[in-house]
Amino acid sequence: MLKSLTPLQTMQMVFAITLAVIIGAWLFEFAGYLPCELCLKQRWAYYAVVPLSALFAIAKPQWMRQALIIVGLIMLASCIFGIYHSGVEWKFWAGPTTCTGGGAFTSKLPDLDAPVVMCDKPAIRILGLSLAGYNALISGFVAFLAFIKARQA
């Protein structure tokens, strides 16, 4: 099925997948699974790719190769960041001191009304993977798809 996709259809698929993922993240947050600092930073790639992929889907066809490469690079970075966050959750390596373990004091006064969400404690695991793990998988798939189709464009 993926071989039959045109570069334009691939960009439309990138738009649909990334939009669905960010809406899903918002729904989990609405359901009470509050995001940590790293979770919020992982969304940046989606905030960039959703409008870019919509814009690139109406761009001139001769620019589609470059557009797919740009989207692929952003999603590759998101994949790497998702792997990093998953590693923090599994305690493979330390995360930022401001959101792991017991937290850390900073020079700013803390907001005592804000809930504390630790980056090394996943809010939910589905089939053994946290949402950061799913971000790594989905971002990696979208990056792979974009790079494969960029070669064909």
Domains of the chain in sequence order? 2-101+115-152 (1.20.1550)
pLDDT reading at 110 higher than 70: no
Q: Which residue has the tokens 């045109």?
A: 6
Residues 36-57: tens digit of each pLDDT: 888 889 999 999 999 999 999 8
The residues that bridge with 125 in the sheet, in sequence order, are: 130
Query: Who's near 139: CB < 8 A, 6+ residues apart?
Result: 45, 75, 76, 78, 79, 82
Full-model pTM: 0.84
Q: Cα torsion for 9, 15, 21, 22, to the nearest 10°? A: -170
153 vs 151: CA distance, rounded Å: 6
Residues 58-109: tens digit of each pLDDT: 888 888 999 999 999 999 999 999 999 998 888 888 877 777 655 455 556 6
